[in-house]
Structure 1
Amino acid sequence: MTSIAQRMMGNPVFSLVYEKAWRPLFTRGFSLGGSGTADYDHALRAYLARPGERHVLDVACGPGNYSDDAAGGLTGDGRYIGIDFSAAMLARAGHDHHAERVTFVRGDAHRLPFADGSFDTVLCLAALYLIPDPLPVLDEMARVCAPGGEVIVFTSARTSVAALPGGPLAAGLVGLRLFDLDELVDRLRSLGLEHLEQTVTGVGQYVHARAPKASS
């Protein structure tokens, strides 16, 4: 059965308001009204915008929230590719973000249509909790991450606040998965990623990991 959240993401009307209205409000909600998530998000955008010749993949990119940041500092043959299953979100992304180094494609995050080790940075931000059977998506992200590259995820976290009565029920009703605090870290570690960093803010978590460098 398609969840409420999934139906919203496929709605062309919702795609119009998602980036500028819904997402900022929703993101702040992860910090329970505080600024922790927003502050980390600003720092992440600055990090993604650093100069360099990188290939960036944004999994479940929605309407291209991070495309301008991730593509802004790219040099040489650097590219940003956003992939999403929602045609409505991709149509909005293509309308609002059309920089030279930016490409949007439709596809399934469980079967990314890219070769192993294709990307220096692989993102999935504020989306993994909406994807059915999400852990195999991490497998695919690790697969397409180049040696020495990075995987960055922002998603939900089952903290003590999220465990309050009604929290899991409310999340389930709209189709949001709450991840245990060790769930993503353990999965990424099992895939061979290293230098794992996890930052928890409210009921959200940022996870950053790196693929091992190629042996000389």
Structure 2
Amino acid sequence: MDRSATSRQAQALGPLLAEAWSGQPIPVTEGYADLMPHEPPGVASRSMTQWVMEFPLLAPIYERIWRPAGVLAFMGLDLRHFREERAKTVRWLDLSPGDAVLDVACGPGNFTSAFADAVSTGGVAGPGVAVGVDVSVPMLRRAAATNERGNAVYARADATRLPFRDGAFDAVSCYAALYLIPEPFAVIDEMIRVLRPGGRLALMASRASRHAVVRGGQDRILGAMGLRMFGLDELTGHLADRGMAAIEREVHGVTQYVRATAPRH
């Protein structure tokens, strides 16, 4: 990676980072910043599926086959919604030129690049930036290689301890990942923390069956794989408990889409 690109990433991340990073060099390698430099890949508590995400050959398969086919099936084969998913997320996040947006568990950056395009023109506060974070090195390498944008920055970071200052972002999103993470509500709390007053949040996660027998099977079979099925009111209830406003939910198949707004203080 050339020096100009490394400098660009460091400059974009600098104003967003927590005070602990003040004055520290930001290590950038292979197209992403490593904000977990003292924690080698694989040391964090992860589910079996998260461990699989570390295989180098999986990233292109995930980007081209696994994510499209798996999510479409989870959506109940709602092809129209699948085709409009990224554009709709941009609208849900109400992205505008100049915004700073965070894509948590960004994978190969499919949504990060769409967010970058939406905020790319300079606004009142200057050019917008989209930051994609993940713990998977293969995914971040893939993101930097296939979803590069001049205003997209990728970083290795722990979603349960985001390295950003309070209120750093205008919008935060996490799609198709919370059901893989051992501490999903800690991740949501961190997303809320780094969201500015009036900022927007969007989630896409699983939805457990309303039928007890089916739900029990989901818990046993999918739970053994490290996949969590969220109850219909779990995510919205948690957001309400944290003081989030304008909470909305859409259900497509066994997926649920939730959006909310941080209160203005």
- Distance in 2 (CA, whole Å) between partners of 1:61 and 1:113 is 15
Which of 221, 234, 237 aligns to 1:186? It is 237
Q: Which residue of 1 aligns with 2:138?
A: 88
CA, structure 1 residues 5+150, in 2 after alignment: closer, same or farther (shift >3 Å)?
same
Aligned residue pair count: 214
SS at match of 1:148: strand
SS at match of 1:196: strand
CA distance in 2, matches of 1:155, 1:210: 18
- Pick aligned residue for 1:130 from 180, 201, 204: 180
Over the matched positions of the two proteins, sequence identity in percent amounts to 41
Once residues 205 and 37 of structure 1 are traced to their aligned partners in structure 2, the CA distance between those partners, rounded to angstroms, is 12
Contact 2:113–2:130 under 8 Å retained in 1: no
Instruction: Give the aligned residue type for 1:92.
Output: R
- How much is the aligned-residue C-alpha RMSD, in angstroms? 2.1
Question: Separation in 2 of the partners of 1:163 and 1:13?
Answer: 37
What residue number does 2:222 align with? 171
Secondary structure at the counterpart of residue 88 of structure 2: helix
Q: Tell me whether 1:52 sits opposite 2:94 in the alignment.
A: no
CA distance in 2, matches of 1:152, 1:162: 28
* 1:31 alignment partner in structure 2: 75
Structure 2 residues without counterparts, runs of 5 or longer: 1-44
The Cα of 1:39 is off from its aligned counterpart by: 5.0
1:186-205 pair list within 5 angstroms: 186-205=237-256
Superposition deviation, residue 118 in structure 1: 0.5
- Quote how far apart the aligned CAs of 1:161 are: 6.5
**TM-score, normalised with respect to structure 2:** 0.75
C-alpha deviation, 1:2, in angstroms:
4.7
Unaligned runs of 5+ in 1: none
Larger radius of gyration: 2
Tell me the distance in 2 between the aligned counterparts of 1:38 and 1:174.
25
TM-score where L is the length of structure 1: 0.91
